[in-house]
Amino acid sequence: MCGIVGYVGKERALPRVLSGLKFLEYRGYDSAGVAYLFNDEVKITKEVGRISSLEKLIDLDADSYMAIGHTRWATHGEPSVSNSHPHRIGKFTVVHNGIIENYLSLKEDLKKKGIKFLSSTDTEVIPALLDYYYKSEKDILKTIKKVIGILEGSFALGIICDDDKENIYAVRRGSPLILALDKMGMFIASDVPAILCYTNKYILLEQNEIAKINKNSYQVYDQNLKEIKKEVKTFEGSQDAAMLNGYEHYMLKEIHEEEKVYLDTLNYYVSDNSFKETMPEFKKYNNIHIVACGSAYYVGCIAKNLIENYANIPVYVEVASEYRYKKNFYDSNTLVIIISQSGETADSLEALRRAKNDGIDTLAIVNVVLSSIAREAKYTLYVKAGPEIAVATTKAFLAQTTLMALLAVRLSRKNELLKEFVGVEKYINEILSRNYLDYAKEIAKSNDTFFIGRLVDYALCLEGSLKLKETAYINSVAFQAGELKHGTISLITKGTPVIGICTCHEIAPKTISNLKEVAARGAKIIYITSEEVEDNFYDKLIILPKLADLVMPIITVIPLQLIAYEVAKLKGCDIDKPRNLAKSVTVE
Ligand code: G6P
């Protein structure tokens, strides 16, 4: 939800900031801007749209060695030049990720003091407050300390003050921010991929820590402005992971990484058909809650089926934005599992904090190393998906599903089930090599699509349907196969595509009956199954290898992802950056 990059050093700043912003575009991409020091003055350039539009307005060769930049996902105020960051009032120029919850009252107060606002953002109160209190505090660090004491909500800030031509200041609460170091200067950034072209050495800023960076050094201060020592971490992934490497889109590239992602996740937790010590036993839990948002929530729905069936433990699944406000029934034997690719999703993080406050044990299933959710949970199990750039998740979904299937085995204490994971990568590879264009053509012609299935197949339907909505902008509904006839079937007309998923064979006849019901009303059926079908009720068929139920969801999601990709491509959609979305939703 908005990306921040800042650089101060011995190299020209604008190319570094712009290239960093391009790697953060997944966080938001409706407008962008930079502020840079040029001829001793702070210049600002902003533009609606992508970083590429902003780049056209900027002279990358400008002699500027200090700059802050921002890519925005609008929350307060439409995407426009005046609402884009950086925002500047008086001597302070600021880029912000997060939401200032008390901005309305602050703005009213500041207006009464004669301060004029140019945007409808929450952010603009920040430079206004900084400029206002700087007049009395007369010290930048003290001013920042004072202002963050006034702000409510979440923020990661990059700050430049006209009176200090050498340092960029940064502070965070809630929203993530790192510092990064290279021989030629220092960076601030919302996420590691932004700086990987230059360095893999970084420092994580903790809540309310204030940082000051210049071309030679950095200082980090706690809330009382006492300087603190920070650990310099080394990012172990490669920059390659954040490059297209010949693929047309990140989404396609990331789907094609699924064989590796599967193996990396499996091999991190399992060796020779036994769990390694990386996988705790989780013995005491007899009740599980899974909490997540979006696709991660659908992984939770799959996991519920697997854990209940294999481990015989009841599982309650809820979306995080509901869970955090509702009455929850849990006790000391409940494990609350938060699933999150980014580890920064605000609602998921708050749900985790709520469970922690209630004294309940928490487990994070996260992709991004050392993200907030990963750090705050009692236990953290990482999925080994590597950086995921496309906004619509694919490989992280597959990795999460793999890990949740492994967790189901761990909780079942039937280690012999681990043999079901052996060789699945070969099937992943084979399914990836198929062509899905024909199926996509059928769907691309239509404005509405239905996915139907039962039990774990229904959970997969939810994900297949979401992929189609978010990447191809097709109105798509997932339904429990048996429930469709209770009303929604009235939407089926001649030619409506219905994708039926059936990997649970004992109930195949029931799902097939439901598909016949819609076929009789003119629907075009695409049937995805792992068994030979005798009846010819479908228009198109996808036959998957027949594997154990435990691992079936891992391979079944792949055609759904590739079909959505192909439909989006046929429709000319912006596949990696669908409209209105952001990958990491750090607002509530
Ligand atoms: C956003 C993304 C979804 C994602 C969800 C949860 O809504 O657009 O694709 O599934 O956030 O993200 P997380 O990082 O917590 O898995």
Q: Is 136 found in the same domain as 177?
A: yes
Residues 481 and 413 in one domain: no
Query: One of 253, 524, 569, 583 is an active-site residue; which one?
Result: 583
Same domain for 229 and 347?
Answer: no
Judge if 26 and 82 occupy the same domain: yes
191 in a structural domain: yes
Name the residue of 293, 576, 579 to mutate for ligand 1: max ligand atoms within 8 A of Cβ. 293
Domain boundary among 203, 224, 240: 240
The total number of structural domains that make up the chain: 3
> Residue 199 falls within a domain, yes or no?
yes
Kindly state whether residues 145 and 265 are assigned to the same domain: no
Instruction: Determine whether 141 is exposed, middle or buried from the number of CB atoms within 10 Å of its CB (0-12, 13-18, 19+).
Output: middle
Look at residue 392 and give its three-state secondary structure: coil
Q: Residue 20 C-alpha to ligand 1 middle, in angstroms?
A: 22
Catalytic residue among 2, 293, 461, 573: 2
Residue 134 domain-assigned (yes or no): yes
Q: What is d(CA 240, CA 481) in angstroms, rounded to the nearest whole number?
A: 42
- Looking from the CA of 46 toward its CB, the CA atoms found within 13 Å total 22
Please confirm, yes or no, whether 46 is among the known catalytic residues.
no
Q: Are both 252 and 226 inside the same structural domain?
A: no
- Work out which ligand 1 atom sits closest to the CA atom of 393: 9
Residue 465 lies in a domain: yes
Distance 300 CA to ligand 1 centre (A): 13
Q: Are residues 463 and 386 in the same domain?
A: no
Q: Are residues 354 and 370 in the same domain?
A: yes
pLDDT in tens, the chain (588 residues): 789 999 999 999 999 999 999 988 888 889 999 999 999 999 999 999 999 999 999 999 999 999 999 999 888 889 999 999 999 999 999 999 999 999 999 999 999 999 999 999 999 999 999 999 999 999 999 999 999 999 999 899 999 999 999 999 999 998 889 999 999 999 999 988 899 999 999 999 999 999 999 999 999 999 999 999 999 999 877 666 667 778 999 999 999 999 999 999 999 999 999 999 999 999 999 999 999 999 999 999 999 999 999 999 999 999 999 999 999 999 999 999 999 999 999 999 999 999 999 999 999 999 998 888 999 999 999 999 998 989 999 999 999 999 999 999 999 999 999 999 999 999 999 999 999 999 999 999 998 999 999 999 999 999 999 999 999 999 999 999 999 889 888 888 999 999 999 998 888 889 999 999 999 999 999 999 998 887 789 999 999 999 999 999 999 999 999 999 999 999 999 999 898 887 777 667
b/e string for 315-339 if b means 16 or more Cβ within 10 A?
Answer: bbbbbbbebbeeebebeeebbbbbb
Report the amino acid identity of residue 118: L
249 with 233, same domain? no
CB neighbour list of residue 490: distance below 8 Å, 6 or more residues apart: none
Give the CATH number, domain containing residue 220: 3.60.20.10
Whether 312 is covered by a domain: the verdict is yes
Same domain, 369 and 497: no
Produce one character per residue of 143-182: b if its CB has 16 or more CB atoms within 10 Å, e if not: bbbbbbeebebbbbbbbbbbeeeebbbbbbbbbbbbbbbb
Around ligand 1, the residues with Cβ closer than 6 Å are 293-296, 340-342, 345, 348, 391-393, 581, 583-585
Distance from Cα 227 to the centre of ligand 1, integer Å: 36
Q: Whose CA is nearest to atom 15 of ligand 1?
A: 340
**What is the pTM (predicted TM-score) of this model?**
0.85
Residue 427 forms part of a structural domain: no
441 and 406 within one domain: no
- Residue with the smallest CA separation from ligand 1 atom 2 is 583
Distance of CA 68 to the CA centre of its chain: 23
Ligand 1 centroid to residue 257 C-alpha, Å: 19
Of 225, 240, 255, the residue at which a domain comes to its end is 240
Report the separation in Å between the CA atom of 413 and the middle of ligand 1, taken as the mean of its atom positions.
31
Atom of ligand 1 nearest to the CA of 293: 6
Name the region of 138 (left: φ>0; alpha: ψ -120 to 50; beta: rest). left
Atom 8 of ligand 1, nearest CA residue: 583
Domain that holds residue 188: 3-240
CA distance 105 to 127: 15
Is 588 a member of any domain?
Answer: no
Q: Are residues 352 and 220 in the same domain?
A: no
Is 2 an annotated catalytic residue? yes
Distance CA 502, CA 302 (A): 14
Domain boundary among the residues 399, 422, 445 is at: 422
The CATH number of whichever domain residue 478 belongs to comes to 3.40.50.10490
